[in-house]
Amino acid sequence: MKHILYSLLVFLFSIQISVGQVESRQLSDYADVSVLTIGTGPMLHELFGHTAIRVSDPSQGIDRVYNFGMFDFATPNFGLRFIKGDMLYFADYTTMRNFIANYVYDNRSVYEQKLALTSDQKNKVWKSLNESLEEENKYYVYKFINQNCTTKVVDIVNADSGTAVTVDIPENQYTYREVLNSYLGDSYLLKLGINMILGSAIDQKNAKQFLPDKYMKGLDVTIIKGKPIVKEKLTIFAADQSKKGVAAWWDSYLVFSLLCLGLAFLAYKFRQVRSILLIVVGVFGVFFLFVNFYSLHEEVQYNTILLLCNPLLLLFPFIKHKAVWKKRIRLFLLISLTLYVVLNITSEKLVITLPIYLLTLWLLIIDRISVNKK
C-alpha cells in the first residue's frame, strides 16, 4: 500500500501543465544544460536505462527535466500497437526534484553531465526542448534503435551544439545484439525470448548512440573546439547494488538445457510427447511469422528464427507416417535447420537458442527412426 501511495503522489506531482506556446524567456548566463542518465531497472521497459535533459537557471527559478520516454498504458490496444510499431511516445517535463525522487525510490542510479555550451547554444537547446512540447511535435513513433528517449536527446544536442557525439567507443565494436545481451543479466529466459523475437538487422555493428549509458560514455570522450563537451560529471544518486534482484536458480542456460534433454528422452519413449513438442515449436513459429509481417519494427524483420521454429512443424504430427509429403516436409525442415546454423554461425543467437535447436533436430530424427522401425 505504501508503494502504491508513493507512486501515486510522485505521478501527481510530476504532472505539468503542457506548454501552450513556445517558452519566450531566454536563459541567463548562469544557466546549465545537462544530460541525465538513469541506470537500469527490473521491469521490461527499464532494462536499458533512460536518458533525459535538464535545464537549470537558478536566477529565473528554472529547473526542468525534459523527458522523451513518456507513454500511456491506457492507450487502446497498447500491446498490439507496441508489437506493430506504431505506438506513440511523447515528450513532457517535470521538476528535477520530482524526477529524481522516482528513481531514488526505485533504486536506480542517476548521473548528470553538465555540457560546456555557449549561451547561444544553451538557448538553442532550450528553444528546441520547448518546441518539442507543442502538440504537433510532442508525439513520435517509438523505434527501439532509431527513435527512442536517447536518440531524441542525441538529435537535439548534436543539432544545437554543432558537434556529433563520438560513436567510436569500445562498446561500438560489438553488434547491436551483443550490446543488448550485455544488459539482460542472468535471466536466460528473458535473453532467450528477446533474441528469438529480434531479427538479423541487430547482428550489424553498433553504429548509433541509442542506449543511455553508451551515450553517456560517448559524451565523456566528445570534444568540441578542442575541449570536452562535458565540463562536469556528477553522480546524483548511486543505486544500492545489494538490493538488486538476481535471477531465480531455474532461470539459467544449464537448467533449460537439462529440461530440453529430459524432454528429448520423453519424446524418444512416447510418440505423444514428440507430437506435443513439435506442435508447441510450430505454434511459436506461427507467432513469429505473425510478428514478422505485422510489425513495423525493423528490428524484428528478416528473422531467421522462422527456420528453427518453422510453422510447418505444427502440421507435421498430423501427417501420416508413410505419406510422401511427410518425407518432403521432413527434408525441408532439416534443410531449414541447417540454414539456421549457417546464417547465425557468427551470432550469439545460435548459442542462446542451441537447446531448442538440438531438441527440434532430435524430434525430426527420432520421428524418422520410428518410421523405419515400422
Q: Is 73 exposed, middle or buried (0-12, 13-18, 19+ CB in 10 A)?
A: exposed
- Residue ranges covered by each domain of the chain: 2-167+208-243, 253-373
Query: Backbone phi, then psi, for 173, in 5-degree steps?
Result: -85, -5
223 neighbors 210 (Cβ within 8 angstroms): no
33 neighbors 122 (Cβ within 8 angstroms): yes
CA gap 364, 374 in Å, rounded: 16
Kindly report the number of other CB atoms within 10 A of residue 20's CB atom.
Answer: 8
Specify the 3-state DSSP secondary structure of 20: coil
CA gap 303, 291 in Å, rounded: 10
* DSSP secondary structure string for all residues of 200-224: GGGGSB--S--SHHHHHHHHHT-EE
271 neighbors 316 (Cβ within 8 angstroms): no
159 neighbors 129 (Cβ within 8 angstroms): no
The single residue listed with the C-alpha cell 533436430 is 361
Q: What string of pLDDT tens digits covers the 374 residues of the chain?
A: 444 444 433 443 343 433 334 566 899 999 999 999 999 998 888 899 999 999 999 999 999 999 999 988 777 877 778 778 888 899 999 999 999 999 999 999 999 999 999 999 999 999 999 999 999 999 999 888 889 999 999 999 999 998 888 766 666 678 999 999 999 888 999 999 999 999 999 999 877 788 999 999 999 999 888 899 999 999 999 999 877 777 788 999 999 999 999 999 999 999 999 999 999 999 999 999 999 999 988 899 999 999 999 999 999 988 876 678 888 999 999 999 999 999 999 999 999 999 999 999 999 999 876 655 55
Outline where DSSP puts E strands in the chain.
Answer: 32-38, 50-57, 62-70, 88-95, 110-115, 139-141, 223-224, 227-228, 230-237
Kindly report the number of other CB atoms within 10 A of residue 14's CB atom.
Answer: 19
